[in-house]
Structure 1
Amino acid sequence: MSATATADLISRAQSGDHDAFRALTAPHVRELQVHCYRMLGSLQDAEDALQDSLLTAWRGLDRFEGRASLRTWLYKITTNRCLNARRSAARRRAHEWDIPGVHPPDPTRLGEVVWLEPLPDALVAGGVDALPGPEAHYERVESISLAFVTALQLLPRRQLAVLILRDVLGFPAKETADMLDSSVESVTSALKRARASLDRQRLSNPDREPPPAPRSRSEQELLATFVRAYEAADLEAVVALLTDDVFISMPPMPYEYEGLDTVAEFCARIFRAGRRFELVPTRANGQPAFGTYLRTPDGTSNGVGLFVLTLAGDRISAMTRFEKGVLPWFALPRSLPARGGLPGSRP
């Protein structure tokens, strides 16, 4: 959009033209939604914060003087609305174990970020395409991975905002300071502490192989092998696909399991309980994912959750399980019709 066209829309919107405001903000809405998701770790909370931010922008548009770009002004409003949400929100409580007929093994630990939700790739594609500034530190896909978003939630509020604005979006220190009504020195200090905190969380394992390229042949072969093994409840085949430090989490349940033996026991208890599944592929947070459907005696399969996989080379290094309520976000059905053939067979 040309500067003249933008100026005309701003003038019309400041005069009360709702259509002009929507046209003005439309190019930025999706990336602002992803920004809210990074800040809050929950798609539902992100949508609430986004709508609150757009309402604030509409009401305050007469005070927009063009000293910064419209995009920067919108990011300032949205960031501060998210900070307010983090300050005031009563985070969702952890859920109790909800897998019938399965007694869970003792968890390695209890996770803190039980409000974490997945982000459909349909939103990622439109919300991460805007080119980050030259000072961005993280790759686009890395910046919305489940591991990264989880780590962000453990940062203090101001450090979180600074790290996203500087290292993810690449805003200069001066612009970041202006957005947060702070000083460059304070922003620089907060960024240093945030980076150190992420380093302590060891988000990246230097000995771990990088994941295969999304939708590449190697990724598809690994996923196909996983689907065959998991749907057949072939414990040995599933375990053969896992890294030694594999990790399972299940928000909003706090149970977390780490290490090959522990995760193998977890999977064994699921399979020994007689639970058999159909997996339907999708993608979340730039990662492969599957809607999980529990087979029933009449042959139908009911949706019970969503798996998001983290890959490392030709292995799986993490599995995150979400509740069935997220399935509609991925245009996945609540149930699957009965398949033909013998029980458990696939055409």
Structure 2
Amino acid sequence: MPGTPPAGKTGASAHDRRPAGDLLALARGGDGEAFRELVEPYRRELQVHCYRILGSVQDAEDLLQETLLAAWRGIGGYEERASVRTWLYRIATNRCLNALRTGTRRPHEHAARRPEIPLPEPSHHRAEPSWLEPYPDVLLDGIADRVPGPEARYEIRESVSLAFLAALQRLPPKQRAVLVLRDVLGFRAAEVADILRTTENAVTGALKRARRGLDDELPGPGPESAPLPESPRERRIVADFVRAFEAGDVDAIVALLTDDAWLTMPPLPLEYRGPDAIRNFLATVALRDGLRYTLIATRANGQPAFGCYLRDPRTPILHAHGVLVLTLTRDRITALTRFHDNSLLEIFGLPRSLRA
């Protein structure tokens, strides 16, 4: 059998797809196209699964490719005791846990970059940096319609929100995996035990600890209180924010915040909580000395987001300044998450510079 799986293509429609049993038999015989057709329906959801566990879009894509390669090389040993989907999740989950355990994740070069100016004292300083990256909504297309198992507790929108994922990244890796498999994907305890090569009792214990840890970390109201994506209410809040931010109007921005709003800048372990702390940060850092930005709308993690471009009065070129994601609650903004790594713009299809 060849050493690498066939490259991903646009899959056949469900109407045209050959029976899984036929595809499996052909793939075991070395038919790369049959293997691709067999695993293609799960490609995107597996990438999102890796992203939830690792917090990085780039790492998730790397681990997805490793998963498909391992599945291609090991398909002869697939015993059909579980579905193809469960088998792929077993490979992906354990690859992710191995990557976390061995420290072989992609180096985060931007983490070492020092801020351009001294930052004000944060409201809270975490012990470790957050490696979380934003996930483009366009990559979620096609997986929201898959109905999770009966054990699932989280809707797709909640399970990719930045608040949920930031809390998830603070759990130990094994707890993280158990919670995602049980409460997000709806696998039964016995299935999770098989995926992780452990006992059902161990899964149950890890899930209880993970739920407690997640409850302690998740801030404020859940996503059910947020306006629906692309709804008139969401568009109005976003338009008000863009108008205020591009004008450098700190007071107008603060007027849009909830009383418990917070601002973070992964991977920096700093949190600015409350309108006063955020006002001070905006006035002394983000919008200091008349700095002005142009915001290009996109979406990340089911939330409004922007590519940020810094204006330079001496030139018509606008320079990339990372990605900004808003978390909304009712008619207000409850969180601003700023990612300064300009390499993230590429995964959103945004350029490194604009012409004014």
TM-score for the superposition, normalised by structure 1: 0.92
CA contact (8 A) 1:31 1:128 kept: no
Say if 2:259 is the partner of 1:244.
yes
Q: Percent identity?
A: 54
Q: Which amino acid aligns with 1:240?
A: A
Runs (4 or more) in structure 1 with deviation over 6 Å come to: none
List per-residue Cα deviations over 1:150-183 (Å, max 9, x = no partner). 1111111211111000000001111111111111
Name the counterpart of 1:330.
348
Number of residue-to-residue matches in the alignment: 335
Give the deviation of 1:252 after TM superposition.
2.6
List per-residue Cα deviations over 1:171-229 (Å, max 9, x = no partner). 1111111111111111111111110111122x142599811111000000000000000
Name the counterpart of 1:77.
91
Give the Cα separation in 2 of the matches to 1:208 and 1:32.
23
CA contact (8 A) 1:34 1:128 kept: no
Give the Cα separation in 1 of the matches to 2:220 and 2:98.
34
Q: Which moved more, 1:210-219 or 1:182-191?
A: 182-191
Name the counterpart of 1:109.
124
**Residues 77-96 of structure 1: pairs in structure 2 closer than 5 A:** 77-89=91-103, 92=107, 94-96=111-113
Q: Secondary structure at the match of 2:130?
A: coil
Q: Which moved more, 1:247-256 or 1:134-143?
A: 247-256
Name the counterpart of 2:10.
none
Query: Is there any run of 5+ residues in structure 2 with no aligned partner, and where?
Result: 1-13
Give the deviation of 1:295 after TM superposition.
0.6
Say if 2:178 is the partner of 1:162.
yes
Query: Is there any run of 5+ residues in structure 1 with no aligned partner, and where?
Result: 339-347
CA contact (8 A) 1:136 1:166 kept: yes
CA contact (8 A) 1:49 1:81 kept: yes
Match 1:227 to one of 242, 253, 263: 242
Name the counterpart of 1:136.
152
Match 1:310 to one of 324, 327, 336: 327
Give the deviation of 1:113 after TM superposition.
4.0
Q: Which moved more, 1:173-182 or 1:280-289?
A: 173-182
Alpha-carbon distance change, 243 to 95 in structure 1, aligned in 2, over 3 angstroms: farther
Q: Which moved more, 1:85-94 or 1:211-220?
A: 85-94
Q: CA RMSD in A?
A: 1.9
Give the Cα separation in 2 of the matches to 1:20 and 1:233.
55
Give the deviation of 1:47 after TM superposition.
1.0
CA contact (8 A) 2:130 2:166 kept: no
List per-residue Cα deviations over 1:62-95 (Å, max 9, x = no partner). 0112121100110111111111011011665633
Q: Which amino acid aligns with 1:199?
A: D
TM-score for the superposition, normalised by structure 2: 0.89
Name the counterpart of 2:5.
none
Name the counterpart of 1:341.
none
